[in-house]
Amino acid sequence: MRSSHFVLTLGRSGSNTLVDMLNQNPALLNFGEVLGSWTRLRKVQRRLRLLKINDADYLDWILGSRSFLSAANAFRTLGKIKDRRWSEIKSLRKIESVGVKDFSVNLGGELSQFLLTRPRIKVIGLLRQNVIDRMVSNETLEATGLVKVRNYESPLNRQKVYIPPESVLRKLERIDAENIELAGMLDVLPQERVFRVYYDRLFASAARAEEIVREIYTFLGVGDCRPRVRMRKILELDPLLAVLNAEEVRGIIAESRFGQQLGR
């Protein structure tokens, strides 16, 4: 029987890179986000009116249905053939763990107990603790629509964003509350089922990212391989360099409880 895993995170936390590196292992297949209304699987589910009773059944179907896995992998294979990414095609018989990744903010309501009540699911918690970084990354996404960038693509358009000064602390407080909620979700789970990944460590270097992901392979109980970092960070080391009114924003943050996170 195949095992299951769940990458639990928040937006702009490097989860696309992490999932890409997980999927480089032939024994792993992670479908990425599935709860958002914009995702392909969610659109198919709603169009065909599949499992419309509750989202718990929907997630159980994705993580546990053999027929779904077979159909989804076949569809994925067609996409890889079309893009000529032959090395990314997966053999169904070699897949040992099936997973998704989604945001903790989507696991409220009827899904609040989902991970706690399914002991077979191993959870990879990806945390980006610096709220300033996440705020600027959120603003950059809204301004540019740029979600991810592969190493081999053209250079980034370094478009700067303007952050209204009156909104800075409100945005930081919201992000901080999200981080606390995510950490709380991980804390209540049996810790042998949890592997925490911290953004700063994951992106410290390509070698460090490879080391961490190989540790996750061990945690998930699959064979080893050498993954590569195939995406790159959108922001500079100092995220405020991407802000038009950087000095104004920096001054507001410096006088707040978040000031200690400046320059990390």
Whether 77 shows a pLDDT value over 90: the answer reads yes
pLDDT band at 183 (very low <50, low <70, confident <90, very high): very high
Q: What is the mean pLDDT of residues 245-254?
A: 96
Residues contacting 188, CB < 8 A, separation 6+: 116
pLDDT band at 234 (very low <50, low <70, confident <90, very high): low
DSSP state, 155?
P
Alpha-carbon gap, residue 21 to 15, rounded angstroms: 10
Q: Which two tokens stand for residue 34?
A: 């599935």
Asked if CATH classification 3.40.50 holds for the domain at 3-130+172-231, the reply, yes or no, is: yes
Q: What is the mean pLDDT of residues 227-234?
A: 80
pLDDT tens, residue by residue, 156-167 = 556 789 999 999
Q: How far is CA 244 from the centre of its chain?
A: 27
* pLDDT for position 158: 65
* pLDDT for position 141: 86
Q: What are phi and psi of 132, to 5 degrees?
A: -65, -45
The structural domains of the chain, with segments of one domain joined by +, span: 3-130+172-231
In terms of phi and psi (left: phi > 0; alpha: psi -120 to 50; beta: otherwise), the region of 51 is: left
**Is-contact 25 217, C-beta < 8 A?**
yes
Q: Which two tokens stand for residue 180?
A: 């606390």
* pLDDT for position 154: 46
